[in-house]
Amino acid sequence: VVAGPDNDVILLERLSWTPVSYLAGGHEGNVGVIAFSPNGVYAATAGTDNKVVVWLVDKSVQVRTEVMRCSFA
């Protein structure tokens, strides 16, 4: 998994490091965190735009977006 252009995420094949999928269009800021469900079906990304986006990985589509308002002191 690497950060791509335009605030996207690029999923790489684990042995060859070739791109296999893009999670695109979910964020307006840099993506800093990604986590996968235990079965690998879903991924969640979080970015500097305060959005958490849940993705259906095999289709590269968003299934849910939440805007989080947090402050860290």
Q: What is the value of pTM for the model shown?
A: 0.83
Average pLDDT over residues 43-64: 94
Identify the three-state secondary structure at position 5.
Answer: helix
Q: Residues in the chain, how many? A: 73
**3: CB partners within 8 A, 6+ apart:** 9, 10, 30, 31
CB 53 within 8 A of CB 65: yes
> So what's the pLDDT on residue 52?
94
Q: Is the pLDDT of residue 60 over 70?
A: yes
CB 33 within 8 A of CB 9: no
Residues 10-52: tens digit of each pLDDT:
999 989 999 999 999 999 988 989 999 999 999 999 988 999 9
| CA nearest to 37, candidates 25, 54, 52, 22 | 54
> So what's the pLDDT on residue 72?
56
